[in-house]
Structure 1
């Protein structure tokens, strides 16, 4: 960051428990032409007005992280757990019990023929990044000191200092950029604080609802509501013909400023090895695995020495991909990569002379059985 330019105007995250956000009201009303005429400030040229048109600021060269030259330490003692036959049977019984239309008999009476355990791994890379963007905003001016250019030079987008929230969690804050505020006459009401009522077009009257503007009702009786005039006091403006200006809230003046949006995002890439045994790997998203490896630092390097070459390739592709994708557009604050062993066992069994199979997966010992041998149709009355 440029020396002497850092300005701390952000919120404080107390104990990283409750995150306190500085509230910034959103722009209301048709202020686009007005804000479009605002001049540009150094470092904020070309910023938009609406949130969807905000300008994103590239990362300064001095904030681009430098990759270390130390490779991820090679690990050779990989402890691979397995499930026992008793655990596999118990999981099947619990599975059958959870289904209202399944008989528990096959799970209890089955004869286990074979139990195969597969080494199925899930690699996960998390890259915690920060990005900054800005838009012009306006809010009613309620008096008080205006932090204009007279108080100093506006800090550049990446020179505004704020506390970082807990790592690896998405969060967004919006801040007023110091020394960018100005008080302007409200263009919607012309500083008077009130606008013509859209319901009565400023006439303070509207069609009588009781007689639909006719002045009379059934049997040609004079409408008692409007006494024959066919009009009634406008309810929207209480007969005044004007309403409070929706943009300045009756103040007649607006405080315009540049709003800085700081977004922290946890970007995740993951890869699950597929044993190609007919098990739908999408079910792995529902379960946890046994953590075999974890590496967390500013910039991680690809995993080496893992027994599954597919996982090592996934690590290399993810690390290089995140560095290419976020290295120049967002600030990388931290990276974390993990490898989990997801328990996956295929159980083949026999019941009443027929062969069947099911799968047990995850730490939760969930069961996937495509064809359960004994089900019934339940009718709920």
Structure 2
């Protein structure tokens, strides 16, 4: 349909009054005051965990790496930094090597949380379905669960909650005051920066006024309404935001190697134990009682906390033995040390030969 002059005329249905917040059946408790918010999950369908899976009795020790492997790791470490001389790694003489057993217990709880909120978008002839049928409640809406233990988010327009309303920002005009010129249609002259002069002479661009037409609104003082994108009407609906989150927590057993615990977060270890199910049972009877105590504490905390804030889909916990080798060496008559740790043979040290690098 076109109007005289060639401009398109968009169909303008009679706006349906937006639903009163408390009048959407099934959402009375979730949209109190119109704000929306967290939707408590239904009761879990799975039974509580039982102590079916516990670590098997295996060799809990990992032998120290060889001197050649330690020196190779040290040389690679020095080579990766342009400001490090390779001399300590090449010429240093290893005097002692000590291995340490460090256990890392990791618990992961994969959860789903649902939040409802009112949303609007420009009305462009989308389906208007409020009142056609009863809207499904938040947890009744079926979605495909994403890959386990990976964060993911989805937004779903709740069926049978969409209605049309006039845009409250532009008052149905499709336009708002220009942000650049604040509605005046003028802005500071770009040639003289609003002074009206250039090199002590009157500015030719603005005739000395210091102002020019606003290029953002072509001097009209108005711009297209960003909320309705000039359509004058909005589609209003309840949005269901679904967030899947992997809640991960580590416990690293204290050890006497001297390496900073933070360094271990970037490496992997030798997996000694792994169990995954709806809800895991704490690990008891581990050779290091601190690991068992940490497992008991973290499992109880996760199951209590996350069963209240969302739906638990799956838990898994692992125990790794992270290899750490403390290497003492001499270079130029002085004693130094470095650590080689993790399956990746990463190195941590206070390197004794550095220089100032300038990258051009």
Shared fold, TM over 0.5: yes
Whether contact under 8 Å (2:21, 2:32) holds in the other structure is no
Whether contact under 8 Å (1:211, 1:223) holds in the other structure is no
CA deviation map 1:292-339 (0-9, x unaligned): 221111111111332221111111111111001101221001111111
> Counterparts of 1:1-381 in structure 2 under 5 Å?
38-45=21-28, 47=31, 54-61=36-43, 63=44, 65-78=46-59, 80-82=61-63, 83-98=65-80, 100-104=83-87, 108=91, 110-112=93-95, 114-150=96-132, 152-195=133-176, 206=186, 209=189, 235-238=215-218, 240=220, 242-349=222-329, 355-370=335-350, 372=352, 375=353, 377=355
Q: 1:49 to 1:137 in 2, by over 3 A?
A: farther
Report the alpha carbon displacement of residue 88 of structure 1 after superposing the two structures with TM.
Answer: 2.6
Q: 1:200 to 1:66 in 2, by over 3 A?
A: same
CA deviation map 1:74-128 (0-9, x unaligned): 411235332233323433344455554445357545153x332111111111110
Whether contact under 8 Å (1:111, 1:351) holds in the other structure is no
Report the alpha carbon displacement of residue 171 of structure 1 after superposing the two structures with TM.
Answer: 0.9
Q: 1:96 to 1:190 in 2, by over 3 A?
A: closer
Q: 1:111 to 1:40 in 2, by over 3 A?
A: same
Report the alpha carbon displacement of residue 252 of structure 1 after superposing the two structures with TM.
Answer: 2.2
Report the alpha carbon displacement of residue 273 of structure 1 after superposing the two structures with TM.
Answer: 1.3
SS at match of 2:54: coil
How far, CA to CA, are the matches of 1:202 and 1:92 in structure 2?
A: 66
Whether contact under 8 Å (1:244, 1:250) holds in the other structure is yes
TM (norm. structure 1) is: 0.74
CA-atom RMSD, angstroms? 4.0
TM (norm. structure 2) is: 0.78
Q: 1:267 to 1:143 in 2, by over 3 A?
A: same
Q: 1:185 to 1:166 in 2, by over 3 A?
A: same
Q: 1:38 to 1:244 in 2, by over 3 A?
A: farther
Q: 1:93 to 1:220 in 2, by over 3 A?
A: closer
SS at match of 2:40: coil
298-307 or 331-340, which deviates more: 298-307
CA deviation map 1:170-209 (0-9, x unaligned): 1111111111111112233443434465677878x54794
SS at match of 2:319: strand
Stretches of structure 2 that go unaligned for 5 or more consecutive residues are 1-16
Stretches of structure 1 that go unaligned for 5 or more consecutive residues are 1-33
- Figure out how many residues of one structure are paired with residues of the other and give that number: 339
SS at match of 1:327: helix
SS at match of 2:47: coil
Q: 1:303 to 1:143 in 2, by over 3 A?
A: same
